[in-house]
Amino acid sequence: MKLRFRIVHKSSTYLLILTSMAALLWPGEWSAATISVLVLMTCLSWFWEPTKFPVKRLNFLWNLATILMLIKVVMEIVAGGGVLMNAMDFILFLGINKLFNRSSNQDYQQLYIVSLLQMIAATTVNTDPSFGLLFFVYVVAVTWTLILFHLRREMQDNLLLKYGHSLDARPVAVERMLNSKRLIGGRFLLVTSGLAILVFLIAGTFFFIFPRLGFRLFQQNRAGQTVAGFSDSVDLGQFGLIKDNPTVVMRIEFEKGAPETTETLYWRGISFDHYDGRSWSKSRVRDKRSLPRYVDTVYVRRPQLDSTRRTTQKIYLDPMAQRVLFGLSDILSIKLPERPEIAALHRYRAIQQDADGDLFYEQLDEVAFKYSVSSETRQPTAKMRQLKVRHVRDLKSEQRRYRQLPTNLSPAIRALANQLVKPEQTLFEAAAAVESYLENNLTYTLDLKRNEALSPLDDFLFEQKSGHCEYFATAMTILLRAGGLEARLVNGFQGGKWNPFGNYLAVSQGDAHSWVELAVPAENCTGVRCQPATLWHRFDPTPPSAARSTTLTLLDRFRAYADAFRMRWYKHVIEYDIEQQASAIMSVRDAWTALSTALTDKTELSQRRRSHLVQFAVVCLILFTILFILVGRRRASTTLDLDSPPPEIRMILTLVDELLQTYASQGVVKEPHETLREFIERVDPTVSPGMELAERIRDCHEQIRFAQLDIDLNRLQQLSLELEQVKKHQTKPT
């Protein structure tokens, strides 16, 4: 594949500038109209060759536009606009300007500097994994472009004149060379792409070894996701509508690999105790306390089951506007990822718990929160299951806020509650009855219709009879409360998709879910006063929305790939810090220690292995030494071969000897002090083999021996043949 040099250079330049522009525009900081104009102008500039349209007036217009743009940017900054964004506007404008005015090498050079500035600016606004891909393309483009630009300039600077056989210098048509197809081919691009990969790898190595001892004066943060439903107050109906959003919120790795089913996994987030008829809220927002930390672990509650029934989840939680901590119920402890050895380096992190037992985290940076959760799923005991509704109603719990009802609760709801929750039922029978009623009589939908004349709950229960998880959970909570029980609404996530490429469970915003927690009093709670509930039992009244497919479609697979890449990008690039560096060093140290231990282990098995290793090494050493000596001998025998002169020298020396012998046979002998040239000049030209052949042999001899030129062996053979023929004629009798 042969390509025109000019086209390849132009294409790589455009690839470079387009990549840097894409990296800058990707996060959507500019309007669609601006992006369209920029793309259109870039496309137009491809066809605008300044060398073909030398309109000088346009230069003036471009310069004027640049000055006006600069004035606008300065004025906007003075007026309080962002310096960075305005500077980026100007850089984008400069890029377009230079694309339209790329006539000289200097213009190209300035274009590359603008592209470099665009890429640097992009690092401050684009933290998306797309930057990684664009960066790779940029590295390839910059390698191609710089090499091609270098060659272009060298051609223009150095090939201006060429001297022919005559002394007249004639100008070389640089344009012709730039249009040449002989310089650049597919192989060139392939090799330079390989070079670009090398540049990329070295850049990656530098990236990981640079010590991250920065001052972090203008630290770069990723924008946290805002997920409705996890703030202190949530309007009914908002949370359940995010089902279609595939944005991943958190990724969970399990100790034992993929779980058997994901549908039973409820990632508890935040609970609400107060319902005013339209929205849920927390009544004790400020009642939060920081949990004490022991080295790297925060203990939330005392475990009640044996350790075999605990699960551990390593959670990578994307930054969220609401700092809610998720985990499978009931969370026992939270382990932060710091190693004790590098505890001094860790960023500030703290865990808080509010009055409802919900967990929150504190972190200064907008980076993902990484933690491990240890949880146990506690089931009510038999005695708990026997507790009657009547008995629980009479308890004077300190948690009366979980029985709060809206003041305008309709009589129809109260009547339904009385119908479903009967005093003689056990707690679990009553809850199951409510759950069953909702599941069987109402349907799940995201296509909500509202009758504004009714309260949302009345509308859901008696008018529309369809809704999403939030309506179901709210209805059950209110019905249980109306029946005299303590219940609360919990928002979190249910399930998630197993990512086989990253070996983690990806929980997206679409997995958002609401459910109900029913307070189950302690076993010994028999008096009129009772301690706070020891168990909150989960009930999920929402009927299944639709059968979920377990097989991954092509789109799912692509999304899984993209998400795995996204996670690694954030984890290992954007949030790479001194902690991870120190951790990597510690890992090397651990590996070294493990190796040392393995090699110096004194156990019998290890001793046996060591002795085998030593025997193997000794045998190999002896074998290699013997082979080395043998090969060395062979080399010594071939040394002479190495030092022997090349064939053309051997051949010309033989030829000269033959020539001298021919002369000598006719009585003309070369004196020792004479050179071959002097001898031939001295000899009578009529003496065989004649002056002409002798001079040709002499010239070859001088060229090979003294000028060290490469002489074709065929030419020497031809001379040898001619000399042979002359000798034959000489020996023929006359």
Residue 3 binds another protein, judged by CB under 8 A: no
For the bound state, the minimum distance from the C-beta of residue 359 to another protein, rounded and expressed in Å, comes to 28
Other beta carbons within 10 Å of 682: 11
Q: Which is nearer to another protein, 431 or 711 (CB)?
A: 711
Contact yes or no for 240/460 (Cβ under 8 A): no
For the bound state, the minimum distance from the C-beta of residue 86 to another protein, rounded and expressed in Å, comes to 18
User: CA-to-CA distance for 431 and 434, rounded, in angstroms?
Assistant: 5
Q: Which is nearer to another protein, 149 or 493 (CB)?
A: 149
Q: Which of 707, 728, 731, 733 binds another protein (CB under 8 A)?
A: 707
Copy the structure tokens of residue 118: 């665009």
- 3-class SS string, 354-381: ECCCCEEEEECCCCCEEEEEEEECCCCC
Element (DSSP H or E) covering residue 328: strand 327-328
Q: For the segment 596-625, give every residue that binds another protein (CB under 8 A).
A: 596, 599-600, 610, 613-614, 617-618, 620-621, 624-625
Q: Which is nearer to another protein, 127 or 271 (CB)?
A: 127
Copy the structure tokens of residue 52: 């073909």
Q: What angle do CA 345, 350, 351 make, to 5 degrees?
A: 145
For the bound state, the minimum distance from the C-beta of residue 65 to another protein, rounded and expressed in Å, comes to 25
Tell me the window of 209-217, 349-357, 473-481, 669-677 that interacts with another protein (CB under 8 A). 209-217
Tell me the window of 37-45, 84-92, 211-219, 287-295 that interacts with another protein (CB under 8 A). 211-219
Residue 726 binds another protein, judged by CB under 8 A: no
Q: Which is nearer to another protein, 210 or 558 (CB)?
A: 210
305 SS3 class: coil
Residue 85 CB-density burial (10 A; 0-12 exposed, 13-18 middle, 19+ buried): middle
Contact yes or no for 146/134 (Cβ under 8 A): no
Tell me the window of 10-18, 164-172, 324-332, 438-446 that interacts with another protein (CB under 8 A). 164-172
Residues 6+ positions from 539 with CB-CB distance below 8 Å: 431, 432, 434, 435, 476, 515, 516, 517, 518
Q: What is the DSSP letter of 131?
A: H
User: CA-to-CA distance for 332 and 600, rounded, in angstroms?
Assistant: 40
User: CA-to-CA distance for 413 and 409, rounded, in angstroms?
Assistant: 7
For the bound state, the minimum distance from the C-beta of residue 685 to another protein, rounded and expressed in Å, comes to 13
Residue 723 binds another protein, judged by CB under 8 A: no
Residue 348 binds another protein, judged by CB under 8 A: no
Contact yes or no for 574/222 (Cβ under 8 A): yes
Residue 627 binds another protein, judged by CB under 8 A: yes
For the bound state, the minimum distance from the C-beta of residue 5 to another protein, rounded and expressed in Å, comes to 11
Q: Which is nearer to another protein, 205 or 386 (CB)?
A: 205
Q: Which is nearer to another protein, 390 or 633 (CB)?
A: 633
Q: For the segment 289-328, give every residue that binds another protein (CB under 8 A).
A: none
Residue 350 binds another protein, judged by CB under 8 A: no
- Pairing label, strands 297-299, 266-272: unpaired
Residue 718 binds another protein, judged by CB under 8 A: no
Q: Which of 141, 147, 489, 652 binds another protein (CB under 8 A)?
A: 147
For tokens 């690839």, the residue is 15
Q: For the segment 559-598, give every residue that binds another protein (CB under 8 A).
A: 573-577, 592, 595-596
Q: Which of 7, 65, 75, 169 binds another protein (CB under 8 A)?
A: 169
Q: Which of 47, 215, 294, 348 binds another protein (CB under 8 A)?
A: 215
Closest to 470 (Cα-Cα) out of 452, 431, 444, 451? 444
The sign of the torsion formed by the CA atoms of 165, 170, 171, 173 equals negative
Residue 214 binds another protein, judged by CB under 8 A: yes
Q: For the segment 44-103, give every residue that binds another protein (CB under 8 A).
A: none
For the bound state, the minimum distance from the C-beta of residue 666 to another protein, rounded and expressed in Å, comes to 24
Contact yes or no for 393/428 (Cβ under 8 A): no
Closest to 455 (Cα-Cα) out of 404, 516, 515, 405? 405
Q: Treating both helix axes as pointing N-terminal to C-terminal, what angle do 83-100 and 56-78 enclose, rounded to 10 degrees?
A: 180
β-bridge partners, 250: 317, 507
Tell me the window of 192-200, 277-285, 388-396, 687-695 that interacts with another protein (CB under 8 A). 192-200
Give the interface size with another protein as a residue count (CB under 8 A): 86
Q: For the segment 635-694, give every residue that binds another protein (CB under 8 A).
A: 635, 638, 641-642, 646-648
Residue 109 binds another protein, judged by CB under 8 A: yes
For the bound state, the minimum distance from the C-beta of residue 638 to another protein, rounded and expressed in Å, comes to 6
Tell me the window of 93-101, 298-306, 328-336, 632-640 that interacts with another protein (CB under 8 A). 632-640
Q: Which of 4, 6, 72, 212 binds another protein (CB under 8 A)?
A: 212
User: CA-to-CA distance for 502 and 511, rounded, in angstroms?
Assistant: 19
Q: Which is nearer to another protein, 129 or 467 (CB)?
A: 129
For the bound state, the minimum distance from the C-beta of residue 659 to another protein, rounded and expressed in Å, comes to 23
Residues 6+ positions from 384 with CB-CB distance below 8 Å: 427, 520, 521, 523, 535
Contact yes or no for 314/250 (Cβ under 8 A): no
Q: Which of 43, 61, 202, 591 binds another protein (CB under 8 A)?
A: 202
For the bound state, the minimum distance from the C-beta of residue 534 to another protein, rounded and expressed in Å, comes to 46
B/e letters for 90-126, b = 16+ CB within 10 Å, e = fewer, are bbbbbbbbbbbbbeeeebbebbbebbebbbebbeebb
Q: Which of 58, 146, 342, 355 binds another protein (CB under 8 A)?
A: 146
Residue 6 binds another protein, judged by CB under 8 A: no
Q: Which is nearer to another protein, 577 or 722 (CB)?
A: 577
Residue 628 binds another protein, judged by CB under 8 A: yes
Q: For the segment 216-255, give every residue that binds another protein (CB under 8 A).
A: 216-220
Q: For the segment 502-541, give every residue that binds another protein (CB under 8 A).
A: none
For the bound state, the minimum distance from the C-beta of residue 207 to another protein, rounded and expressed in Å, comes to 4
Q: Which is nearer to another protein, 149 or 402 (CB)?
A: 149
- 3-class SS string, 34-80: HHHHHHHHHHHHHHCCCCCCCCHHHHHHHHHHHHHHHHHHHHHHHCC
Residue 462 binds another protein, judged by CB under 8 A: no
User: CA-to-CA distance for 225 and 371, rounded, in angstroms?
Assistant: 18
Q: For the segment 114-143, give every residue that binds another protein (CB under 8 A).
A: 116, 119-120, 122-124, 126-127, 131, 135, 139, 142-143
Omega before 330 within 30 of 0, i.e. cis: yes
